[in-house]
């Protein structure tokens, strides 16, 4: 779950960095000019929705998680593993709500987003989505 922790930490850092109290800018601090480039990567619009979707999933709020994860994909995630992660959690939700065709498609979409996508051994062994995952992404196949 290290990638999840990184996504959530990045989202928290981004949100914290946006809050600047009025009048807190010093006189010697000029606003950024157009020719300056930020040192850090600019977050894709869907990253906050992805973090919220994963958080809702972990809290057992599956309808909210599904909504946020779908929103994250519509808004755009710039990194393939992030898109794969959104599809993975959607697959989990679809399988547990007996929407096997959607679950199957979500696992395939995860692999398309990130060719190295694979569930952990524990995730792949889950009784609800493990069999669908194995059918959707047989070992050794792209």
Closest by CA to 98, choosing from 67, 121, 129, 77, is 129
What pLDDT sits at residue 78? 84
Q: For 7-34, b where at least 16 C-beta lie within 10 A, e where not — what string?
A: bbebbeeeeeeeeeeeeeeeeeeeeeee
Q: What is the pLDDT of residues 27-80, one digit of tens each?
A: 443 334 344 344 455 567 799 999 999 999 999 999 999 999 999 999 988 899
What pLDDT sits at residue 43? 67
Decide if pLDDT at 129 tops 50. yes
Q: What is the pLDDT of residues 69-113, one digit of tens each?
A: 999 999 988 899 999 999 999 999 999 999 999 999 999 999 999
What pLDDT sits at residue 140? 63
What pLDDT sits at residue 45? 79
């Amino acid at each position: 779950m290290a990638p999840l922790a990184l996504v959530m930490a990045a989202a928290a850092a981004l949100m914290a960095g946006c809050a600047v109290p009025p009048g807190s800018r010093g006189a010697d601090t000029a606003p950024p000019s157009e020719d300056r480039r930020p040192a850090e990567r600019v977050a894709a619009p869907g990253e906050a929705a992805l973090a919220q979707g994963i958080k809702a999933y972990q809290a057992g709020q599956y309808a909210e998680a599904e909504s946020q994860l779908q929103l994250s994909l519509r808004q755009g995630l710039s990194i393939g593993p992030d898109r794969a992660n959104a599809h993975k959690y959607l697959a989990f939700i679809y399988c547990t709500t007996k929407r096997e065709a959607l679950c199957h498609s979500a696992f395939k979409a995860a692999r398309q987003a990130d060719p190295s996508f694979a569930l952990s051994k524990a995730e792949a062994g889950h009784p609800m989505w493990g069999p669908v995952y194995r059918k959707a992404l047989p070992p050794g196949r792209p």
